[in-house]
Structure 1
């Protein structure tokens, strides 16, 4: 497992594609690799600040040819300032997807109800995740993706809003250079983004890393992802929540 983690870590740090894993992994083994991969990054000074959910919409499952949710870790060095820039050369196959983000004001652990999850939320915001599979030709299995930190690479979060508002069915428009490329709804995220937060609490606790106050949780893509290219301006507008954006350099 450590050898696979080292290989994937090298792919990330050098922005170089690596072949699909030769040896089949169980899902549990893939998460062991992911943990080892992130431990290498923690040893270099990165700090875990949250969790991202993946494959929480039917559109993403269809696009990636998989079934079922996955998750990955977020670190402080993955956070991009709203309106800031990303360097295209530091990615392998960067794509962007529109999301809803939560920030917790209290710990959230184990099996919880949506009401309990909402009570622990300090804010909700429009968000963009830059996913980046490190595998050659963008070909991989479900366990390959999980081992690769569920393709998590960078994320951008907009202004935080009152979590008490209804976020069950908010219109979402993903624009690239002012042109709408994906139009969807927050309802595509498991029917309600709070269900993704409930799942995140359960999965994080099971992994021995329960969500703490201050944790950021990315609820998962509401639409299929869009490929990125240098020179682009990316913006997400979410009904009632506002906008979030970044530039590709």
Structure 2
């Protein structure tokens, strides 16, 4: 095994242990300052491989940095992505234990379910034709790093902070989702109000970009997969006892309870 591969596996092991123990770890880039974006995605893949060896199943991918404001905040000019697995999917309405997270935050999203494969450069129409259903969704992000502080490479290696998600009722993709009102309430109080237009101007564009970015790692978006388009608003801290509900214009709603 060459030294770079060994280093990649070391970093994946650090993040995997932090996730399993729900215990924060220092940024990888502090001890591995040479880590770049390409290696960060390799660390991400190695970490997911560990989880699949523990019988998790790959369900799809999530997109990140899908708003111009977030790109500017992080000083980047492209999106990032992470993987969704079976243990990350939560049952709507169930209580999810906060003990599995370190410093969780929650975001309102739109989810796509594919019925065709997408890979590489695809048109907007091709992307839309590959979707059999859409749903409102909530994503829990939970950086494994201390103080929620990280570089671009750090966050990508850490599966782009993706830690859990819950889906609402699947519905027809024929409706207009370019400007869905999205109101996220916690304990009955609106905490984030936005529009799906914040997701690259139109959430469908996120699916086009998902196919492109995944192809750079020689991955295709497979039929049956779920793709989370990206957050429509800023993330909000999630605390024990919180009841979170996302209301949308025409896609319905989705909710979850944060338990002990």
What TM-score does the superposition give when structure 1 sets the normalisation length?
Answer: 0.97
Task: Give the match for residue 99 of structure 1.
Answer: 109
Cross-structure match for 1:3: 10
1:152 to 153, 158, 162: 162
In the alignment, which residue of structure 2 is the partner of 1:240? 250
Shift of 1:187: 0.3
Matched, 1:69 2:79: yes
Is 1:30 aligned to residue 63 of structure 2?
no
* Residue 219, structure 1, aligned to residue 226, structure 2: no
Is contact 1:59-1:224 (8 Å) kept?
no
> 1:11-160 maps to which residues of 2 (within 5 A)?
11-21=18-28, 22=30, 23-24=32-33, 25-61=35-71, 65-67=74-76, 68-160=78-170
Cα distance in 2 between the residues matched to 1:76 and 1:90: 15
- C-alpha contact (below 8 Å) 1:235/1:244 kept by paired residues: yes
2-side partners of 1:164 and 1:128: how far apart?
Answer: 21
Deviation at 1:105, TM superposition (A): 1.0
Please tell me whether the aligned partners of residues 27 and 143 of structure 1 are also in contact (alpha carbons under 8 angstroms): yes
**Alignment partners' CA distance in 1, 2:234 and 2:71:** 9
> 2:135·2:170 contact (CA, 8 Å) conserved in 1?
yes
Q: For 1:156 and 1:32, how far apart are their aligned partners in 2?
A: 26
| Whole-Å separation in 1 of the counterparts to 2:130 and 2:115 | 6
Alpha-carbon distance in structure 2 between the residues aligned to 1:34 and 1:228 = 24
Distance 1:66 1:156, change over 3 A: farther
By how many angstroms is 1:240 displaced?
0.3
1:8-45 Cα offsets, whole Å, 9 max, x none, are 00000010000111212110010010011111001111
Gaps of 5+ in 1: none
3-state DSSP of counterpart to 1:173 = strand
1-side partners of 2:258 and 2:75: how far apart? 28
Partner residue in 1 for 2:5: none
TM-score (norm 2): 0.93
Contact 1:60 1:221 in 2 (8 A): no
- Whether contact under 8 Å (1:59, 1:222) holds in the other structure is no
Structure 1 Cα separation of the partners of residues 117 and 57 of structure 2: 18
Deviation of 1:205 (Å): 2.1
Contact persistence 1:82–1:157 (CA under 8 A): yes
Q: CA deviation at 1:65?
A: 3.4
Structure 2 unaligned residues grouped into runs of 5+: 1-7
**Distance in 2 (alpha carbons) for counterparts of 1:160 and 1:78:** 18
Distance, in Å, in 2 between the alignment partners of 1:105 and 1:166 is 19
May I ask how many residue pairs the two structures share in their alignment? 248
- How far the C-alpha of 1:66 sits from its partner, in A, is 4.1
Q: 1:60 touches 1:225 (CA, 8 Å); kept in 2?
A: no
